[in-house]
């Protein structure tokens, strides 16, 4: 069995730009917003479908999909009934970000990983909707010196799994390449070049790019597992940490920064959400 892991976001999807940014806003959080259902969902669905169709045509026989955009909302951003029958979803309550549970449901050695609909990290130039997990309050999050956003979370959760392709905004590729220099970068929009194609235009680009990435499988590399992860979480100016009196991990807090160490990437990512519990807005 060749199991492909797809982790999808939405800000980096085809057809969604600054001019129609409401297409990203999930209806459960913004019930007054009609563009997500009438337009935005079709955009990310087209991108994911192109990946799935290319993968199945190239011999992939099992696809596990995680739709991480607006995790916590029950309804998927992707129109699941339009995907091939071999696509399965990770079993998560309301699509919550639970990296250990996600990794535990996949094969011990998946065939590969593809990230779809990805945006760039906070601070990246010429990016659509750049942010690091959610900014504010997060200014930056580092694991072993790499500025980790949604792409980094996904790739590090599946460390030692070949990273085949990143499909998204041109600016998002910088993070992908830091994690795995041989990853195939498939651009669906580029603010620097003022290239804003429709999902219809990008579908064959994605399909061809994924097909080429799988053909080049022998050259694909994975982010390597580390026995020591040094983490640093920094906040924007209007937020601070309310440090606990004690905590059962090696680390420390300052006003706008928290640092910790872990023995693997899954624990590092899980502790991120523990640290997040101690963030508060300045009065």
What CATH number has the domain bearing residue 208?
A: 3.40.50.10780
- In the chain, the percentage of residues whose pLDDT exceeds 70 is 100
**What number is the average pLDDT over the span 250-276?**
93
So what's the pLDDT on residue 1?
A: 85
Residue 108, Cβ neighbours under 10 Å: how many?
Answer: 6
Residue 31 lies in a domain: yes
Residue 122 lies in a domain: yes
Specify the pTM: 0.96
**DSSP strand pairing (87-89 vs 229-235):** unpaired
Mapping DSSP onto H, E and C, the string for 155-188 reads HHHCCCCCEEEEEEEHHHHHHHHHHCCCCEEEEE
32 with 80, same domain?
yes
75 with 153, same domain?
yes
List beta partners, residue 167. 116, 186
Domain extent for 122: 3-138+147-219
186 with 214, same domain?
yes
129 with 236, same domain?
no
**What is the tens place of the pLDDT at every residue in 130-165?**
999 999 999 999 999 999 999 999 999 999 999 999
Residue 259 lies in a domain: yes
Higher-scoring residue by pLDDT: 4, 249: 4
263 with 203, same domain?
no
**What is the tens place of the pLDDT at every residue in 241-260?**
998 888 888 899 999 999 99
So what's the pLDDT on residue 244?
A: 87
**What is the tens place of the pLDDT at every residue in 192-248?**
999 999 999 999 999 999 999 999 999 999 999 999 999 999 999 999 999 888 888
19 with 79, same domain?
yes
Per-residue DSSP letter, 136: T
164 with 261, same domain?
no
Is 174 within 8 Å of 124 (Cβ atoms)?
Answer: yes
H/E element, 99 = helix 99-105
How does residue 47 score in pLDDT terms, banded at 50, 70 and 90?
A: very high
Residue 180 lies in a domain: yes
C-alpha neighbours within 13 Å on the C-beta side of residue 253? 18
Instruction: State the Cα angle at 58 between 54 and 62, rounded to 5°.
Output: 85
Is 27 within 8 Å of 33 (Cβ atoms)?
Answer: yes
Average pLDDT for the chain: 96
**What number is the average pLDDT over the span 107-128?**
97
CA 90 vs. chain centroid, Å, equals 15
131 with 269, same domain?
no
Residue 37 lies in a domain: yes
List beta partners, residue 240. 280
23 with 117, same domain?
yes
Residue 72 has pLDDT above 90, yes or no: yes
| Number of domains within the chain | 2
**What number is the average pLDDT over the span 67-79?**
97
Among the candidates 186, 219, 252, a domain finishes at 219
**What is the tens place of the pLDDT at every residue in 100-109?**
999 999 999 9
Residue 224 lies in a domain: no
179 with 203, same domain?
yes
């Amino acid at each position: 069995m060749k199991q492909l892991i797809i982790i999808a976001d939405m800000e980096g999807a085809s057809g969604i730009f600054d001019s129609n940014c409401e297409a990203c806003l999930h209806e459960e959080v913004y019930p007054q917003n009609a563009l997500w259902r009438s337009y935005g969902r079709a955009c990310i669905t087209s991108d994911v479908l192109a990946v799935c169709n290319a993968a199945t045509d190239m011999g992939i026989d099992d696809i596990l999909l995680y739709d991480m955009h607006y995790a916590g909302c029950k309804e998927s951003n992707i129109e699941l009934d339009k995907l091939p029958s071999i696509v399965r979803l990770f079993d998560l309550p309301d699509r919550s970000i639970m990296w250990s549970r996600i990794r535990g449901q996949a094969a011990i050695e998946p065939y590969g990983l593809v990230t779809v609909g990805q945006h760039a990290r906070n601070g990246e130039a010429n990016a659509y909707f750049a942010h690091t997990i959610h900014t504010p309050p997060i200014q930056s999050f580092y694991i072993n010196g790499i500025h980790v956003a949604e792409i980094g979370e996904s790739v590090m959760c599946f460390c030692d799994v070949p990273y085949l392709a990143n499909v998204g905004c041109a600016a998002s590729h910088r993070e992908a390449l830091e994690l795995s220099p041989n990853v195939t970068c498939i651009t669906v929009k580029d603010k620097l070049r003022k290239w804003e194609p429709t999902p219809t235009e990008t579908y064959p680009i994605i399909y061809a790019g994924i097909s080429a990435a799988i053909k080049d499988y022998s050259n694909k590399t994975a982010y390597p597992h580390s026995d020591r992860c040094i983490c640093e979480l920094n906040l924007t100016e209007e937020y601070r940490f309310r440090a606990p009196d004690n905590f059962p991990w090696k680390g420390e807090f300052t006003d706008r920064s928290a640092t910790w160490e872990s023995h693997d990437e899954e624990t590092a990512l899980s502790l991120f959400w523990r640290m997040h519990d101690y963030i508060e807005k300045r009065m």
